[in-house]
Amino acid sequence: MKVVFFGCEPDHIEFLNRRIAERGIEIEAIYAGDRVSEVSQDIAKDADVVSVFVGSPILASDFDRFSNIKLITTRSTGYDHIDTEEAKKRGIPVAYVPSYGENTVAEHAFGLLLALSKRIYDGFEQIREQGDFRWGTMKGFDLKGKTLGVLGMGRIGFHAATIGNGFGMRVIAHDRMPNEERAKQGNFKYVSFDELLAQSDVITIHVSFNDTTEHLINEEAFAKMKKGAVIINTSRGGVIDTKALLAALQSGHLGGAGLDVLEEEGVVKDEMQFLLSNDAHEYDLKTVLANHVLVDMPNVIVTPHIAFNTKEAVERILETTLDNIEGFIRGDIKNLIPTS
């Protein structure tokens, strides 16, 4: 059985090869590049299983090239980079990693928040670039006593609430399926979406990306936020309307943003490929330009989609992916994506 892995780093390949051997999984593992659309036909035509990460989308047009494919397994919790409707039409199951790092991503969210609230990056840059140890312009703000709004109270959101409690913050949350028992356990209160926007000093986003959450944080939402509030996004870039975010920051209504994800981040990561492609019409060029402006703003911290990327979390992701493949071989596929 041939399994083609896309978007693996060298240490991922080393780990996978070792664990495949240790677990005695009888597969031929092929490691391709990042782009599913560019894999050679020799590899694609007889691939039984395809494993991708978020930077390796599988579009409807890619399915014809994989004429033998029987399973897609993504090494992520989100699966919006896969055309699941096309997979469903063709009877191809899609598996994912439902949980790998609720603490990992929540910790990164607070890393971004602390970098903003304590002016850590600004201070470091001032010393490194200017040799200037003056502190007068580096005034931050305390987290203790502030209101943390958690948008999306799943596994990651719950851990973010726990961390917020540890900092002495008042924690409120909004979720489409409130669980009062969970609220008691996590010492937070459920509120409406508008109440969360209006009350929060800090909003951290932990929702999945779909039709109902695309541009959930838009011009109208920013207008309802406290003046000077800070927003943190470690979920998906498309949850925030980038142009509205830029306007809120430039007007001074929004105090800052910590972003591990961006809209159109694939273009920003590989602009040369974008310029050479014929697919420019598929992208919002104003959003791409806005991302560049955001990166240069002094009250914005941007990291390259690395909230998941710790040794422990990556190993959990890879182990779960092997569980999914092994389950498929046994005829008992693990972790199929939810169906509506």
Catalytic residue annotation: 236, 265, 305
DSSP state of 147: E
CA distances (Å), origin 50, targets 38, 75, 89, 315, 324: 14, 11, 17, 19, 11
What span, in angstroms and rounded, lies between the C-alpha atoms of 164 and 34?
Answer: 36
CB-CB neighbours of 28 under 10 Å: 12
Q: Taking a C-beta distance cutoff of 8 angstroms, is the pair 217, 240 a contact?
A: yes
Backbone angles phi, psi at 266, to 5 degrees: -60, -35
Angle at which helices 102-117 and 155-166 pack, to 10 degrees? 40
Q: What is the CA radius of gyration of the chain?
A: 21
Backbone angles phi, psi at 281, to 5 degrees: -65, -15
What span, in angstroms and rounded, lies between the C-alpha atoms of 220 and 130?
Answer: 40
Strand 28-31: give its sheet, edge to edge. 28-31, 2-5, 49-52, 71-74, 94-95
CB-CB neighbours of 33 under 10 Å: 11
Single out the residue of 159, 169, 47, 176 nearest to residue 101, CA to CA. 159
Sign of the Cα torsion 60, 56, 308, 123 reads negative
What span, in angstroms and rounded, lies between the C-alpha atoms of 204 and 235?
Answer: 9
Residue type, 207: V
Single out the residue of 236, 245, 243, 237 nearest to residue 289, CA to CA. 243
